[in-house]
Structure 1
Amino acid sequence: MAQDYPHGHHQSVLRGHGWRTVSNSAAYLLGSLRPDMVILDVGCGPGSITVDLASLVPQGKVVGMDTTSDPFEEGLKLAAERGVNNVSFDVGDAKKLPFPDKTFDMVHAHQVVQYLDKDARIQAIREMRRVAKTGGLVCLREGDQGTVTFYPEVDGLQEFIDLYCKIARANGGEPDAGRRLHTWVKEAGFQAADITVTAGTWCYNSPKERAWWSSVWVDRIQQSGLKETALTGGHATQKDLDRLAEAWRTWGSNEDGWYAIVHGEVICQVR
C-alpha cells in the first residue's frame, strides 16, 4: 500500500498509528476472538493492534503485514516490552497476499482499503477472503471523513478536512469509506446474510487527547508524506499548510475542544 498511502511512514504517522489498540480501534471483533486463533493483520503499520491481538490469542499466533518493513521495528519493540512472543511481521501487498488459501482463522484490516482505488480495494478484500479458512472471518474497519464533527468552529479546520478528502480522492482512495464498507464486501463476494455491520467512534476531548491529536496532525501537515502529496499534487501551498497547522494548534489548545469521527465496521463469515 506504499504507493496508495499518501501519509507515508514518517514518525508522526507511526506515532498516530501506535495509539491504536484493540480496545479503541477494534472492539467490534472482541466477541469473535478465540485463544487459539491464527490471525492476519493487513496493513499493520507499527503493530500496536497486531501485538494487542496476539496478547488476546495466547495459544494462537498473529502475523502483521505491510508493504514495507519500515514500521516493523516499533511492533517488535512493543512485543518485547509486553512479553508477547506469538507475533511476527511480513512484507506483502494486500492486493496479492503472500499466503496460501485458507490459512487464517481471522483476517483483520484497520484503515486500509479506503486508500485503494475501486478495483484494488475489491481485489484486496477478495484476497483477504481467499486466505481465510472456511468458517473464518474477515474483519474490516474504515473511517468516514464526512462524519467528522468538532467544536469550536476553528477557522481552517474544516478546510483541512476538505483538503484531506481532496488529496485522498486524487490518490484514488475514498475518505468516506465507512458508510460504503458493507457494500464493498458484497462486491467482493460476501453474501449479506454473512455480514455483520456495526459502527464505532473515535472521540478526543480531554486535555491529553486534544494535545496528542492536534500535535499528530500538525506534524503530519509539516513533515509527513501528506505534506509532499499536498504540495507536489498542487492541492495546497506551503503557506496554506502553515495556516492549517496553526488551526490544529488553536483547536488543540482550546479547553472546550471536542472532535469525533464515525467508523464503519464489518465482520464477514467465509463460507
Structure 2
Amino acid sequence: MPEYLMEDPTEAERLELKTKRDVVLKELAFLPLEPGLRVLEVGCGTGAVTRILAEKVFPGLVVGLDFSRERLCAGRGIASVEGARNVEFVCGDLFSCGLKEGCFDLVFSRCLFQYFAGERGKEALRRMKSLARPGGRVAVADVDGMCLYRFPEDEAREKALQALLSALEPLGFDAFVGRKLYQMFRQAGLKEIQVDLIPHHLITGKTDPLTRRAWQMKLAILEEHFQKAFGSREEALGWRERFLQDLSDEDVLLYNLMFIVQGTA
C-alpha cells in the first residue's frame, strides 16, 4: 500500500487529541450497534474509536486493524489502562491481513477513505464487504471539506487551497470523499444503503486548546507538501499562520461535514 500521508512520529498523539468522544458517539448513533456484535474497525490507528465501539457492543469483540506497529502499540497500552477487555488489535494491510472473510457483523472505518482516493478506495470498500458476514453491515464515516468551508469567503485563500489540494491529490488524498461514498457503495454491490450527514468541525472563533493543538500538529506534518504547493517555506508558513488565526477569529466561520454511509453485504 502507498505510504500514509500523515506518517510521523507524532501521529499517535495527534489521533488521540483529535478524536473527540462526543463527536464519535453522534456518528456511531447511526450504526446498528448492540451488545454481542463482532466488529472490525479498519485503519484504527491508536484505537481511539475502537475503544468506544467496544463499549457499545460489550461483551462482543471489536478488532482494530492498522498497518502501524507503533500506533497499535500505543493503542494496546491505552486500552489496557482503560480496561477495554473486548478489544483486539491486528497489525497488517487491509488486503493481506489474514483476517477470515465473512465473519464480522459490522466492518467500519472512520476518516480513512480520505486517504484512499480513486480506485484505491473502491478496492478497499470491496475488501471490507468481503470481511462482513452475509447480511452484515459495512459502514464508512468520512469528511467532506476538511474544514475548508469558510465564511466570509476569501478569494486568495481559496486559490491557495486549490493549489494545496492539487499537490496532495497524487498522494491519494481526497478532501471531498464524503460525497462520493454513496456511489462507491452502490458500485461495490452493497444493499439497503443508508446515508446520514452531520457537521464535523464547526468553528466560530472559539477553538478549544486541544483542537487547536491537533490542527497545529496536522499542519506541521504536512509542511513539506505545503512548500511544494506554495513554492517556498515562507509562503507555506504564512498560509499556515493565517489558517490558525481563522481558528480563533470570532468573525470567521469554518466548517466541514461528516458523511456516515452504510450498506448490507
Q: Given the two structures, how large is their TM-score scaled by the length of structure 2? A: 0.86
Show the counterpart of 2:196. Answer: 198
Q: Is the 8 A contact 1:154 1:247 kept in 2?
A: no
CA distance in 1, matches of 2:251, 2:96: 46
8 Å Cα contact 1:64/1:88 also seen in 2: yes
1:39 — aligned with what?
Answer: 39
- Please state if 1:221 is matched with 2:205: no
SS at match of 2:85: coil
Look up the match of 2:67: 67
Contact 2:105 2:133 in 1 (8 A): yes
Indicate the residue corresponding to 2:50 in structure 1. 50
Within the alignment, does 1:267 sit opposite 2:262 as a pair?
yes
Structure 1 partner of 2:6: 7
Separation (CA, whole Å) in 1 of partners of 2:226 and 2:212: 19
User: Distance in 2 between the 1:173 and 1:245 partners?
Assistant: 19
Q: C-alpha distance in 2, partners of 1:177/1:243?
A: 27
Q: Which moved more, 1:243-252 or 1:206-215?
A: 206-215
User: Cα offset for 1:159?
Assistant: 5.1
Cα deviation, residue 213, structure 1: 3.4
Q: Which residue of 2 aligns with 1:86?
A: 86
Residue of structure 2 equivalent to 1:95: 95
Report the Cα offset of residue 153 of structure 1.
5.4
TM-score by length of 1: 0.84
CA RMSD of aligned residues (A): 2.7
Gaps of 5+ in 1: none
Contact 2:116 2:172 in 1 (8 A): yes
> In the comparison of the two structures, how many residue pairs are matched?
263
> Shift of the alpha carbon at 1:251?
1.6
What is the percentage of aligned positions where both structures have the same residue? 23
Contact in 1 for aligned 2:206/2:250 (Cα 8 Å): no
Secondary structure at 2:165's aligned position in 1? helix
Uncovered stretches (5+) of structure 2, i.e. residues with no partner: none
The equivalent of 1:137 in structure 2 is: 137
Task: Report the counterpart of residue 24 of structure 1 in structure 2.
Answer: 23
**Does the CA-based 8 Å contact 1:107-1:139 persist in structure 2?**
yes
CA positional deviation for 1:82: 2.2
